[in-house]
Amino acid sequence: MKKGLIIGLLVAAVAFGAGTYFGRSGKQEMTISSSTQGASYAGGFKAEGVAVKPGDAIRSVAGPAPTNVVVVKDGESIQAAIKAAPKGTIVRVMPGTYHETVYVDKDDIRIIGVIEAGRRAVLDGEKKLNDAILYSGNNFVAENLEIRNYKGNGIMGQAGNNFEIRNNVIVDSGVYGIFPQLGQNGIVEHNVVSKIADAAIYIGMSDNILVAHNDVFDSVAGIEIENSRHAIVEHNYVHNNTGGLLAFVTPGLPIKDTVDVIFRNNFVVGNNHPNFGAPGSTVSGIPAGTGILVMAADDVVIEGNIISDNKVSGIIITDHANAQNITADPESEPNSDRVKILDNVMLRNGYDTITEAKALMLAEGKVGAKNLDIVRVGPSPGSCIINRHQYVTVGVSDFTECDFTNTAATVNYLLPPVPPREIKPGERGKVVYLGICTGCHTYNGRMIGPPVQVIQALYLDNPQGLADYIAKPAKKRDDYPEMPPQDYLDPQTRLAVAQYMLQVTN
């Protein structure tokens, strides 16, 4: 199972052997490029409007400035504070130990730990609780926390946009340390994440992401970008994981592609940790000793990384067909298209590589090589590389020369905080009327409740009266059942729906 990901290699080796590479002799011509000169990669994403200059780079994405602060002290409950908090609140958590699952289903909440002389607010799941933090609201911020001993995830987002997760320490907290899912526009930076059974930082099905300056180690996967678009992963220290940086398309998920990922200026060092991924998980097939792994992701740029001491290979590029522990998905395109490998420092990789890779090297006539920097199996159309002569490679001979040498022009893919959609009361009133009241009231007929025409006659100039009635309906008619209270609608919405109901004409 462990080597499942690479098992197809042998078959591929035969194909390579029979094809382009067999019997090739003599030195290839060298093309030497300098990454400080030459064209810059334009990136696959353009925010509306003008190009960003480095100085104007967005550093914050969480929307409106907070308007309220509450303080939670050791012994109190963070969740209780969040429950009571209006949107726009900073929940400051004082040093201490908190045993709880915190969930945030509203917008504009920031949970910010206070660090006092090195003492943090510690969320401790004691290996009993599932997740430390679950958020689904927009403009969510989690900072300065320490998270330990959860079974599920450290911090998990479900469709929250404009999030910032920074300066947290996350240790031995289940499947993923930090896992924003189905979100747009987020920053994950300056976190220290270790001992995670799958990916320490996992960007799943999300768009416009920056993962920077994190220290991730002792996990199965360091940083994984999966079924996501427009992500930059830079300046991270990724060491002693089974695999360091991953760009994947995982089959069986509703969003089918990974496009436009930049891995740049990271330290990807000694990722040789024995694989302790759960049986059946995608990462359980990663061979221990993988620096960077690209599987079925498109437009992945690898630039400026220091990739060293990863025993299987510095970079592996593969497809779904060669990953045998992967389930099938007819809707996802299985190849890693348009990989772009720019200048990287590669040292001492592949010194103890897997049999399948050795066979491949043999097939390319690379006898006696002690290292392996880059290995590619499976189709990878449109891919390019510069300064290929620097590395020990297999399967990249048909990569073209890239027509750029750096990514300097792509600053990041973040967006200004996306403002919440403004809902006019009239519009809300109409939608609530149609979405809820029409279940029991029609304009001119008897349904479960009396006709709207009758109600209009009763409350003609009195929308407030109607709004008050529906919050606490009194029994009025013998031949009708009781109307259930609509007190779950806030007073404003109740008035809006009353006004709307009083003017409908059909």
Partner 1 sequence: MIRALVLLIAAIGTAGATGPAPPDFTLNTSCPPGFEKTQAGVCELRTLYQFYDSLENRGLGGTRTALPPHRDGFTPRQIDLGRYLFFDPVLSGDGTLACASCHDPARGLSDGRPRSLGIHGEDAGRAAPTLWNVAFLKRFFWDARAHSLEAQASGPLYSPREMGNTPTRLLASLNGNATYRRLFQEAFPSHRGPIAEQEIFTALAAFQTSLVSLNSRYDRYVHGYDAALSEREIEGLNVFRSFVARCSECHTPPLFTNEQIAVIGMPEPKGHAFDVGAEAILHSPKLKGAFKVPTLRNITRTAPYSHSGAFADLRSVVDFYNKGRGNAVPKDMHLYLHWHISDPKLTDTEVDRIVDFLGALTDETFLPQTPARVPSGLAPAKRGE
Q: Which residues bind partner 1 (CB under 8 A)?
A: 83, 101, 103, 105-107, 130-131, 134-138, 151-153, 156-161, 174-176, 179, 181-184, 205-207, 250, 252-255, 278-282, 327-328, 330, 421, 423, 428, 430-432, 434-436, 438-440, 442-443, 488-490, 506
DSSP track, 173-200: -SSEEEEEES-EEEEEES-EEE--SSEE
- By a kind-dependent CB cut-off of 5 to 8 A, residue 478 interacts, out of partner 1, ligand HEC, none, with none
CB of 355 to partner 1, least distance (A): 24
User: Taking CB within 5 to 8 Å according to partner kind, which of partner 1, ligand HEC, none is near residue 255?
Assistant: partner 1
Give dist(CA 420, CA 48) in Å, integer. 17
Q: Provide the minimum distance between the beta carbon of 373 and partner 1 in the complex, in angstroms, as a whole number.
A: 30
Q: How far is the CB of 176 from partner 1 (least distance, A)?
A: 7
CA distances from 360 to 13, 206, 271, 357, 375 (A): 5, 35, 22, 5, 9
Q: What string marks each residue from 465 to 494 as x (binds ligand HEC by CB under 6 A) or -?
A: -x--xx----xxx--xxxxx-x--------
Residue 23 CB, nearest approach to partner 1 (Å): 36
Residue 397-436 contact track with ligand HEC, rule CB under 6 A, x = bound: -----------------------------------x---x
Binding-site member from 102, 249, 501, 502 for ligand HEC (CB under 6 A)? 501
**End-to-end CA separation in angstroms for the chain:** 64
- Residue 129 and residue 100 in contact, taking contact as beta carbons nearer than 8 Å: yes
* Residue found under tokens 């899912």: 181
In the complex, what is the shortest distance from the CB of residue 222 to partner 1, in angstroms, rounded to a whole number?
A: 18
Helix/strand/coil for 462: coil
User: From CA 443, how far away is CA 405, in angstroms rounded?
Assistant: 67
Rg (CA), the chain: 28
Neighbours of 477 (CB within 10 A): 11
The site partner of 466 among ligand HEC, partner 1, none (C-beta below 5 to 8 Å per kind) is: ligand HEC
CA angle 265, 267, 268 (to 5 degrees): 120
Please give the residue ranges that form the binding site for ligand HEC (CB under 6 A).
432, 436-437, 439-441, 448-450, 455, 458, 466, 469-470, 475-477, 480-484, 486, 497, 501
